Amino acid sequence: PMVYAAGTLSLATLEPLVHLKNLETIFHRYLVIPVEFEERLVDPMVPKKLPKGWNSPEPISETQILGESNYPINPQHPDLKKISIGKPFGFDPDSRLGGNR
């Protein structure tokens, strides 16, 4: 099992857009759960260790790991107790994301 966290609310909002078949789904109310953790708990991305072609101009999976960061969290990892989980709050994405103005 894996929980996906984003480094920013904007990334958390945009991430589902690339996976949705119907953009109307984005307008459902979301629940945001803030988390905080020390940087030392993150395995860093080392460019020299990235797969060949990671910097290709084509939108390949190797390039999708760059930019703002997502943080996969393993709920069974022993360091999970070192993550601070905040109070959830509701979030309504801006309707302009679906092209409505």
| Secondary structure class of 97 (helix, strand, coil) | helix
| Secondary structure class of 38 (helix, strand, coil) | coil
Instruction: Give 6-32 pLDDT, tens digit per residue.
Output: 999 888 888 777 777 776 666 667 888
- Non-local CB neighbours of 87 within 8 Å, separated by 6+ positions: 34
Instruction: Please report which confidence band the pLDDT of residue 51 belongs to, taking 50, 70 and 90 as the band edges.
Output: confident
pTM: 0.63
Instruction: Please report which confidence band the pLDDT of residue 83 belongs to, taking 50, 70 and 90 as the band edges.
Output: very high
% of the chain beyond a pLDDT of 70: 72
